[in-house]
Amino acid sequence: MSQIEIIEHLLELTAGIGVYLIAFKMISSNLEAISSDRLKKTFAKISDSKIIGLCIGIVATVLIQSSSAVTVMTIGFVNAGILSLTQAATIVFGGEIGTTVSGQIVALGLFNAKTVNLNILFSSFAGLGIVFSSIAKKDNLKKIGEIISGFGLLFIGLGLMSSSMRSFAELDSLKLFLSQLNNVVFLMAAGAIITAIIHSSAAMTSIAITMVATGLISLEQGIYITLGANVGTCFTGMMAALSSNTNSKRTSVIQLIFNTGGAVLVLIIDILIKAVSANSVGILFERMFPGSPHFQLAMFHTIFNIVSVIIVLPLTDQLVSLSKKIIPDNVQEQENERFYFVDENMLKTPAIAVSQVKKEIVNMAEIAIHNFNISISSFISMNLDNINAFASNEKELNYLNKSLVEFVVKLTSKKNISKKDYLYLSSTYKTIADIERIGDYSENIMEYTENLLEFDEELSEDAKNEIYELTGLINQLYDLTMDVYENGNRLSFIKSMKVEDKIDYLTQLMAENHIQRLSRNMCSAEVGAQFLKLTSDVERIGDHLININDKNYEVSH
């Protein structure tokens, strides 16, 4: 083979790997987009059951074809405090089983029957998918077309890789060189490093399967490269956990222990088999699946991950305890100024992130209404006993207002987000601003209390009763607003309008009653001024709740 031919085959190999990785990403992103509702329902079923957690990990990985994405998403949930370490561990285990599906598909595509070349048949899906996507009207149907096209491109990439590798397999010097690379540590390290670079153990395993199928490397070499890929996939999770909390770091440690431990166990078993017989793990799989080296490696990957999970699942609690010893509690972690339901790592899975944004906004609204009630209670009782709690909540609201908007901006920019989710996210900017304004008006009310305390003034009983009644209406409106926001309840939307009318009427009546009390010397001018400011601010709080109602009812319907 001439130097020109070698360069051509190297370029062909590079093109094949590039097309394969692009196709893999294309399939993964579109699968995630059309599976958004299924993903949400899947993660809604999270419980303390290890089996359920395992199944969720398998299903989620199959749905989006990326165990790395599932791991990063799981770390995000742990960081947000939604998942316990035990739940996260079982989901990670399930992801390791789910990712073996890709290898089985690749092995099937490399199988050439006597009557039809399956690789060519599957490659034709690239054109069929583009045609389907072009004529489809609905967004989901277009994405299905892109998935079909990506599936075809996957096998076009495999075809290019396979063709170039077969050419290289004819080079005796290259085969001799590769055959001498029998150091298992080197092979595992190579698999781990390449996987860390391309962020996909499934892609690395597929490349190894192709190399084995073309005879470029032996099955045993492919096995250790695949084991290295399993270890390398932990890199993505570790990078995601670096900026997260202690439990997130523990989740990445659990995955590292699981995958590294499995690789070491296979190495030990292989050494023992070779010590007592002329066999090896590779030879055993050659006998189990004769004549199909690509299936031999694909089946090793599947069986290895399933057996590893069967062994480790009963030991999950012990593994969690070990992770806690490796990563001890960090007493300096702050409770304030943090997200409660979202995490930067969730940007990897927009469908899940959108549902968590809604929870985060509901949580922000709860903090705001809680501060409102603190401010009203302080004003009526004329004491500032809860001012520290109020200040802490206000600090949290300011953080959420800024950081949540930044998160939504990043989330909205994701290409694989559904039209429904995009419309919802577009409405969140105004909702977040309305909630933040509720917090600001509550802060005003606390200042009115401080002002009256300086003059040693108190409210009349009539004024207190009116404020109690107004506060009750605001809380009623808040409950209805949250029902509309979370559930799109039409009846609550209609009721909220009636409550707002009552608030408008009551605030007008309070102003008139205040003038009468002033004329009868029942309250001072200073009390009256603060009282009027309060009623005006409370009415505006009601307006902001109605704004949230209107915008989100429109989006949900």
Q: Which two tokens stand for residue 405?
A: 């908007």
Residue 334 within a domain: no
What's the rounded Cα separation, in Å, for the pair 92 and 35? 19
CB 162 within 8 A of CB 110: yes
CATH code: domain of residue 354: 1.20.58.220
What confidence score (pLDDT) does residue 108 get?
78
Find the mean pLDDT for residues 239-249.
77
Secondary structure letter of residue 348 according to DSSP: G
Question: 3-state class of 303 per DSSP?
Answer: helix
Residue 433 pLDDT greater than 90, yes or no: yes
Find the mean pLDDT for residues 276-299.
87
pLDDT tens digits, residue range 14-65?
888 888 788 877 877 777 666 666 666 666 666 667 888 888 888 888 777 6
Greater confidence, 439 or 106? 439
**Inter-axis angle of helices 461-487 and 525-556, nearest 10:** 10
Find the mean pLDDT for residues 478-487.
92
Greater confidence, 332 or 534? 534
CB 193 within 8 A of CB 156: no
pLDDT tens digits, residue range 499-540?
999 999 999 999 888 888 777 777 777 788 888 899 999 999
- Say whether both 51 and 187 belong to one domain: yes
Identify the domain boundary among 294, 326, 358: 326
pLDDT tier for residue 471 given thresholds of 50, 70 and 90: very high
For residue 541, list its beta bridge partners.
Answer: none
pLDDT tens digits, residue range 451-469?
888 877 778 888 889 999 9
CB 510 within 8 A of CB 518: no
What confidence score (pLDDT) does residue 114 get?
47
Domain count for the chain, please give it: 2
Kindly state the percentage of the chain with pLDDT values over 90.
Answer: 34
Alpha-carbon distance values, 49 to 38, 41, 45, 93, 321 (Å): 20, 16, 10, 13, 18
- Say whether both 428 and 522 belong to one domain: yes
Q: Please choose, from the candidates 489, 503, 513, the residue with its C-alpha nearest in 3D space to the C-alpha of residue 536.
A: 503
- Say whether both 471 and 422 belong to one domain: yes
Residue 339 within a domain: no
- Say whether both 402 and 486 belong to one domain: yes
What's the rounded Cα separation, in Å, for the pair 292 and 209? 11
Residue appearing with tokens 């062909």: 12
Identify the domain boundary among 326, 356, 380: 326
Residue-range definition of the domain harbouring residue 379: 344-556
Residue 338 within a domain: no
**Inter-axis angle of helices 50-64 and 85-98, nearest 10:** 50
Greater confidence, 355 or 127? 127
Q: Where are the alpha helices (DSSP H) in 413-522?
A: 419-454, 461-487, 490-519
Q: What is the dihedral of CA 356, 357, 359, 361, to 10 degrees?
A: 170
Residue 171 within a domain: yes
Handedness of CA 367, 368, 371, 377 (dihedral sign): negative
Greater confidence, 330 or 190? 190
pLDDT tens digits, residue range 195-232?
888 777 888 888 888 888 888 888 999 999 999 988 98
